[in-house]
Structure 1
Amino acid sequence: MVDYMVVGLGLAGTAFCETLRRNNKTFVVFNDQSQTSSRVAGGLYNPIILKRFTLSWRADEQLAVSVDFYKQLEQFLNIQFDEKLNVLRKFASIEEQNLWFEAADKKSLKQFLDTQLVSNKNAGIKVPFEFGKVLETGKLDTKVLFDGYTKWLKQEKSIFLETFDYNELKVLPNFVSYKGISAKNVVFAEGFGMIHNPYFKYLPMQGSKGEYLVIEAKELQERNIIKSSIFLIPLGNDLYKVGATYNRDQKDNGITEDAKEELQKKLDSLLNCAYKVIDQEAGVRPTVKDRRPLVGKHPKYNNLWVLNGFGSHGIMIAPWASKALYERIEIDAPLLDEMDIARFN
C-alpha cells in the first residue's frame, strides 16, 4: 500500500510528486510520455500577458510559490534547469509605449514592469520603438527537469514507463488497486491525454496545439527573451526557440508545414540577420474552455483526483496548484471555486 498513485509526469505530475516527497508520502508514477506539451514548451515563466499588459490569473501568488519550489528542486536533484532571463517586449508604436507606462502605474503590476525603456543595441533585431522589460521572469529547461526527475524515480523504483490501463483500476471505498499495487488515492495529471480517461473525460478539456521552431542564428548573439508577435528564446550555442502557434482544431503532436511558414513569416519581420531552421516540435496544451485549471475530486469516487488544465502557464501554476490539491486531500482545505472541478458537476 502506497499513499498515492500518480498518472502522468509533465509539469503537473512532477510538481505533485515533489510535493508528496517533501511531505514524506509514498507514491508510484505511471508515465508513457505520450503527452509532449510540457517537454517541448518554451519553458517561460512570465506573470504578464504581454498582448494587453495585464497580470495573468493569480500570477503573483503562483510566482511566490514556484520560484522557491524550483530552486529547492534544483538543489535536491543537483542539476540546473532554471535560468533567470529578462523578457523584452518589443513595442510596435508610441501608443503601445504609453499603454505600458499606464500599466506600470497599477499597484498589481508595478513590481513586474520596468518603467525604464530599453533601447535596442542588437543590429540583428528590428525594433523601431524600443523595448519594455518584464521583471521576475526566466526559463526552465523542461527536458533537463523531466529527465532528472525520471532518473531519480527510477533509482527509487517508483516509476512505471507504461500506458495506464483504466480497465485494470479497481476503485474500492478506502483505496484503489492496480496490477497488484494498492494506493489510498490516485491523482491523474495526464494533460490533454485526459480526454481518454473514463473518470474525467466529462470535463471540458479543449486542447490547443502549439508548434515551435529551433533555429540557429550565429550573428544574433541575443541573451534576452524577445517578445513580439512570437517569443524568441535563447537556448545557448547560437540556438533559439521560436514560438508558438495556437491551433484549436488539430489535436495531435505532429509538426506541420503551415505552422513552420507562419512562424518563419513572423520571425522574418523581427530579425535582421540570417538564420537556419534546425528543428520543429509540437504538443497539445491542456487548455480549458473557461481558461482555469481542472483540480479536485471525482464527483462519485472519493479517492480519484485530477490535476490538469494549466494551458500555457503550467510552469507557474503547477507548484501552486499541487500544493492546493495536496492540502485539499490531506487536511480537507477548500479549493478555489475558480479551479475546483465541482464547478462542472
Structure 2
Amino acid sequence: MKQIDYIIVGDGYAGLFFAHQLIKNNKSFAIFSEGRKSASQVSAGIINPVVLKKFTTFWKAQEQIDFLKDTLLEIESYTGENYLINSPIHRIFHDENEQNLWLKKSDNEELLSFLDKNFDHLDVVKNDFNTGKVNQSARLQVSGFFMGLFDFLEKKELLIKEKFDYGKLETSSATYKDLQFKHMVFCEGMGVTENPFFSDIAVNPNKGHHIKVKLSEAIPEDITIKKKHFLFPTDNGLYFYGGTYDREQLHHHIDESAVAQLVNGLSEIYPYDFEVEEVNFGFRPTVKDRRPIIGRHETFKNLYVFNGLGARGILNGCYFSKSLYQFIEENIPLHEEVSVNRFK
C-alpha cells in the first residue's frame, strides 16, 4: 500500500492548479485523468478582468490577475515554459453609446486600470466605432499548458490515466485500490453529477461551442478581438472563434444552431471568405451566483470538492486553489462566498 498526502480526481483547471499548490509545498499526490478532453481543455483560455457586456469588473479581479501571473512563473520553473500570451482584448463597439459608457466607466476606481481611454481602429475587421482595449487582459496557451503539465506529471509518475471508480474508495480506511491518502479532492467539473459524495452540489451545465476557421485575409496576430465572441489566432494557422453559451441544448453532440450562430457572428465583423475547419464543444460547470463551490464533505472529513469555476475557469481555478490548500493544511477558513456550505 503506497501512502500519499493527496488524491486529486479530475484534470481540468481546478485539478491542475491544485496540483501546482501541492508541488509547490512538497506534498505527495496522484492525479486521476480520464483522458477525455475536459471543458477546460477546449476553452478559449481568455484571461479577462472585465465583463464585456456591461463594462463592469468582478470580485477580486485584480488579485486574481496578479496571482495568476505569479503562478504561471512558478509553473515555468518546472515545465520550462510560460503559457501566458500577452494578447490584449480589443472590444468592438456597437455604437457611440457604448463608447461613451466605456469612457464613463473607465473613471471608476475599480475599472481605472482595466479600461483604456484611447480607442483603436483595427484593419481587416469591421469596427466602424473603433475598439476599446482591456488592459491586463491576456490569453493562456491552453494546449501548451495541458501538454506541459501532463508531461511533467507523467515523468514524475503522478498521473494515473484511468477513470476514477467511486466503488473502490474505502472511506473508513482512506484507501483507494493500492493508495492510502490523507485527503482527496474532487475537481471533476460536470462529472461531479456522478459522484455519490458531492452529487448534490449546485452546479449547472452550460454548453459552449467554438469553431476554428481558416481566414482568407489575416488579422492582427498580437490581439484578441471581441464583439459577440472572441477571435484570435491559434498555433496551427487557424483562428479560434467562440464561444457560445447554452443551458438548454445539453446533448453530447454538436448543435448546428450554435455553429450557425458562430458563423453569423464572425461574418458580422469579418467581411472576407473563411472556412470552418473544426467544431468543438464542452460543458462548463456554472453556479447561479457565479462563484466557485469549494469545501469539505459533511460526513467524510478528508473528502473535498473544488468545482463550479464557470466561464472564468483559469482565474478561479488558479486563485482559489491556494484558498483550498490553506483551508486543508492551515485551517484557514474559506471565503463564505465560495464555501460549499452557502447553499445549505
The TM-score, its normalising length taken from structure 2, stands at 0.96
| Among candidates 105, 114, 117, match of residue 116 of structure 2 | 114
| Among candidates 44, 49, 54, match of residue 52 of structure 1 | 54
Quickly say closer, same or farther: Cα 1:35–1:205, change in 2 above 3 A.
Answer: farther
SS at match of 1:258: helix
Deviation at 1:79, TM superposition (A): 2.6
SS at match of 1:283: strand
Deviation at 1:35, TM superposition (A): 5.3
Quickly say closer, same or farther: Cα 1:68–1:326, change in 2 above 3 A.
Answer: same
In structure 2, the residue matched to 1:30 is 32
Deviation at 1:204, TM superposition (A): 1.0
| Cα contact 2:119–2:130 (8 A) shared by 1 | yes
Structure 2, gaps ≥5 residues long:
none
| Cα contact 1:36–1:253 (8 A) shared by 2 | no
Q: Separation in 1 of the partners of 2:271 and 2:134?
A: 23
Deviation string 1:293-331 (CA, Å, 9 cap, x unpaired) is 010101111100011101010111111100000000001
Deviation string 1:234-278 (CA, Å, 9 cap, x unpaired) is 224542100011111233542222111110011111112211111
> Where do 1:1-345 residues align within 5 Å?
1-34=3-36, 36-120=38-122, 122=123, 124-172=124-172, 176-223=174-221, 224-236=223-235, 238-345=237-344
Q: Separation in 2 of the partners of 1:273 and 1:56?
A: 36
Total equivalences in the alignment: 341
Equivalent AA in structure 2 for residue 149 of structure 1: L
SS at match of 2:306: strand
Equivalent AA in structure 2 for residue 24 of structure 1: N
Deviation at 1:75, TM superposition (A): 3.1
Deviation at 1:73, TM superposition (A): 1.0
| Cα contact 1:218–1:238 (8 A) shared by 2 | no
Aligned-pair Cα RMSD in Å? 1.3
SS at match of 2:286: coil
| Cα contact 1:220–1:273 (8 A) shared by 2 | no
Q: Separation in 2 of the partners of 1:281 and 1:74?
A: 28
Equivalent AA in structure 2 for residue 217 of structure 1: L
| Cα contact 1:213–1:263 (8 A) shared by 2 | yes
Q: Separation in 2 of the partners of 1:86 and 1:22?
A: 29
Q: Separation in 2 of the partners of 1:161 and 1:49?
A: 37
Deviation string 1:23-81 (CA, Å, 9 cap, x unpaired) is 01000011103452101110110000000000033211211211110122123201342
Deviation string 1:125-168 (CA, Å, 9 cap, x unpaired) is 11110000001111112221111111111111111111101011
| Cα contact 1:206–1:286 (8 A) shared by 2 | yes
Q: Separation in 2 of the partners of 1:201 and 1:237?
A: 39
SS at match of 2:118: coil
Percent of aligned positions with the same letter in both sequences?
35
SS at match of 1:211: strand
Equivalent AA in structure 2 for residue 138 of structure 1: A
Deviation at 1:119, TM superposition (A): 1.9
Moved more, 57-66 or 22-31: 57-66
Deviation at 1:218, TM superposition (A): 3.8
Structure 1, gaps ≥5 residues long:
none
